[in-house]
């Protein structure tokens, strides 16, 4: 039993290629993959940054060919159309295979653990990936393509991700502008539920910030934008109210959090307006986050008492610092992943030793029983003597096999394990027909007399 992972991610393939492999319902693909002989179990991970298929196979090379062929010609068409070799060669001048990576056994295990732990993510430590991997696993279980090996692999991956998150600071410190803005607001306000936010602009930054603020329980939000229509579109999606920029002075007085991101030549919030607004707020603090370039808020506004002003450089500096800190944690996370990989490989190795252990025990028991029956037939034994003979033969077999079986179990996850298993199968004739073994090779020499 072997593990194989074939896939592409943000480092190996451009976004226009990855999006062609985006898949909403992986069930048909998984069913198709496990229908053949090459693959016994399969899980498909599909996120915006990666498409990977992890399989358990009896034949790695056959499975690799199957998966590459699957990526190249059999991938189900998504909303962006199908991927495929022809499209890839036409668009990128390279075959799909050139954008795929292949990991086998230990490498595949480590990769799955690293993906689940967000070490391999574009934004290291991002929290969404674990949920996406869990979804992929659930889909595979529902599709019936996930057996005991991959189940165990993914359960261990989830446990590893949990360890990484709790034992390192890989997920600490926000790295997105929106998240940093929310953290900043939380340093001023204890409870966002009773607070009002004013978002000036209707672009991506404002959208991301609004989503982050609402995700943290923001009570009330208002959007102000030059184009009222765009503001209304955004407001409708988030269930908030929209205004034109002319309502700004009134809205500013009510807002505890002001976030601006509009393209303007002159600041939309100057010192005079800010002083006038604050007078109406009776000294209640206000957080102003200016994400506009050129700046939307005059820098002098930050000098006013009870105003906490931050611009895009302030936030960018923190984002870089936090990203660096997360990168530093990658080494610690890597050590946890390595330890967990070893544990999993140990389990997998033990699983591989099981057939040999089972066959050896069965062969020994068959021999014991045959010899016991032959002896009982020849000797005139009462019940007590018969029980004693049975106990003695069992004990003898058990003692003889104790050391070999222990070694087979113990070495199962090491290189010697494979050699030992092979030796055991040859020495004890485990792959030979059972019939001749007990009567010919092990005949009692005393029978000759």
Identify the bridge partners of residue 197 per DSSP, sorted by sequence position.
Answer: 221, 257
Site map for another protein, 122-161, x if CB under 8 A?
----------------------------------------
Within a 10 A sphere around the Cβ of 355, how many other Cβ atoms? 12
Q: Is 321 in the site for another protein (CB under 8 A)?
A: yes
Q: Is 172 in the site for another protein (CB under 8 A)?
A: yes
Q: Is 166 in the site for another protein (CB under 8 A)?
A: no
Using the rule CB under 8 A, which residue among 229, 305, 431, 447 binds another protein? 305
Scanning residues 191 to 210, which ones bind another protein (CB under 8 A)? 191
Q: Tokens at residue 58, please? A: 């009896």
**Active-site position among 48, 279, 387, 400:** 48
- Residue closer to another protein by CB (options 191, 382) is 191
Identify the bridge partners of residue 259 per DSSP, sorted by sequence position.
Answer: 199, 289
Cα–Cα distance, 219 to 315 (Å, whole number): 24
- Comparing CA positions, the residue from 127, 126, 123, 107 lying closest to residue 52 is 107
Q: Is 433 in the site for another protein (CB under 8 A)?
A: no
Q: How many residues bind another protein (CB under 8 A)?
A: 25
Tell me 101's DSSP state. E
- Residue closer to another protein by CB (options 166, 449) is 166
Cα–Cα distance, 405 to 17 (Å, whole number): 51
Min dist. Cβ of residue 308 to another protein (A): 5
- Residue closer to another protein by CB (options 126, 183) is 183
> Are 193 and 217 within 8 A, CB to CB?
yes
- Residue closer to another protein by CB (options 19, 314) is 314
Using the contact rule CB under 8 A, the part of the chain among 92-100, 129-137, 144-152, 301-309 near another protein is: 301-309
Q: Is 220 in the site for another protein (CB under 8 A)?
A: no
Scanning residues 262 to 291, which ones bind another protein (CB under 8 A)? 282-285
Using the contact rule CB under 8 A, the part of the chain among 108-116, 179-187, 237-245, 410-418 near another protein is: 179-187
> Are 210 and 229 within 8 A, CB to CB?
no
Decide if 146 is catalytic: no
Q: State in Å, rounded, how far the first CA of the chain is from the last one.
A: 49
Scanning residues 376 to 415, which ones bind another protein (CB under 8 A)? none
- Comparing CA positions, the residue from 359, 361, 448, 356 lying closest to residue 397 is 361
Sign of CA dihedral 122, 125, 131, 135: positive
Q: Tokens at residue 436, please? A: 């001749």
Q: Is 188 in the site for another protein (CB under 8 A)?
A: yes
- Residue 53 sits at φ, ψ, to 5 deg, of -120, 125
Sign of CA dihedral 214, 216, 218, 223: negative
Q: Which residues contact 364 (CB under 8 A, 6 or more apart)?
A: 397, 400, 401, 428
Q: Is 306 in the site for another protein (CB under 8 A)?
A: yes
Q: Is 80 in the site for another protein (CB under 8 A)?
A: no
Q: Which residues bind another protein (CB under 8 A)?
A: 172-173, 180, 183-184, 186-191, 282-285, 302, 305-306, 308, 310, 314-315, 317-318, 321
Which residues are catalytically annotated? 48
């Amino acid at each position: 039993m072997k593990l194989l992972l074939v896939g592409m991610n943000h480092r190996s393939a451009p976004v226009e290629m990855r999006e062609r492999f985006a898949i909403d319902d992986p069930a048909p693909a998984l069913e198709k993959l496990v229908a053949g002989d090459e693959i016994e179990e399969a899980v498909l991970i599909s996120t915006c940054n990666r498409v990977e298929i992890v399989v358990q196979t009896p034949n790695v090379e056959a499975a690799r060919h199957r998966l590459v062929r699957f990526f190249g010609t059999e991938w189900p068409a998504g909303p962006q159309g199908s991927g495929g070799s022809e499209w890839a060669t036409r668009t990128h001048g390279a075959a799909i295979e050139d954008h795929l990576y292949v990991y086998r056994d230990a490498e595949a295990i480590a990769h799955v653990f690293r993906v689940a732990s967000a070490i391999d993510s574009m934004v290291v430590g991002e929290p969404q990936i674990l949920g996406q991997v869990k979804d992929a696993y659930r889909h595979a279980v529902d599709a019936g393509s996930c057996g005991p090996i991959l189940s165990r692999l993914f359960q261990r991956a989830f446990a590893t991700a949990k360890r990484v998150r709790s034992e390192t600071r890989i997920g600490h410190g926000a790295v997105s502008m929106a998240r940093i803005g929310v953290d900043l607001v939380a340093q001023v306000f204890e409870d966002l539920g009773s607070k009002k936010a004013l978002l000036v602009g209707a672009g991506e930054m404002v959208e991301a910030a609004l989503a982050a603020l609402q995700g943290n329980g923001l009570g009330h939000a208002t959007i102000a934008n030059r184009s009222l229509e765009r503001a209304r579109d955004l407001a409708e999606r988030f269930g908030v109210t929209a205004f034109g920029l002319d309502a700004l002075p009134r809205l500013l007085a009510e807002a505890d959090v002001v976030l601006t991101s509009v393209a303007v030549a002159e600041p939309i919030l100057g010192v005079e307006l800010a002083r006038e607004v604050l007078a109406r707020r009776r000294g209640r603090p206000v957080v102003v986050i200016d994400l506009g370039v050129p700046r939307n808020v005059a820098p002098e506004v930050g000098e006013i008492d009870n105003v906490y002003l931050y611009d895009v450089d302030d936030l960018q500096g923190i984002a870089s610092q936090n990203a660096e800190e997360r990168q530093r944690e990658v080494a610690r996370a890597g050590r946890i992943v390595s330890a967990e990989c070893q544990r999993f490989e140990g389990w997998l190795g033990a699983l591989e030793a099981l057939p040999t252990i089972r066959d050896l025990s069965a062969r020994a028991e068959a021999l014991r029983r045959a010899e016991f029956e032959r002896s009982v037939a020849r000797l005139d034994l009462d019940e007590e003597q018969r029980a004693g003979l049975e106990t003695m033969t069992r004990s003898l077999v058990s003692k003889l096999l104790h050391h070999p079986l222990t070694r087979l179990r113990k070495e199962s996850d090491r290189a010697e394990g494979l050699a030992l298993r092979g030796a055991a199968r040859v020495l004890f004739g485990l792959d030979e027909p059972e019939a001749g073994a007990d009567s010919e090779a092990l005949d009692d020499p005393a029978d000759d007399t």
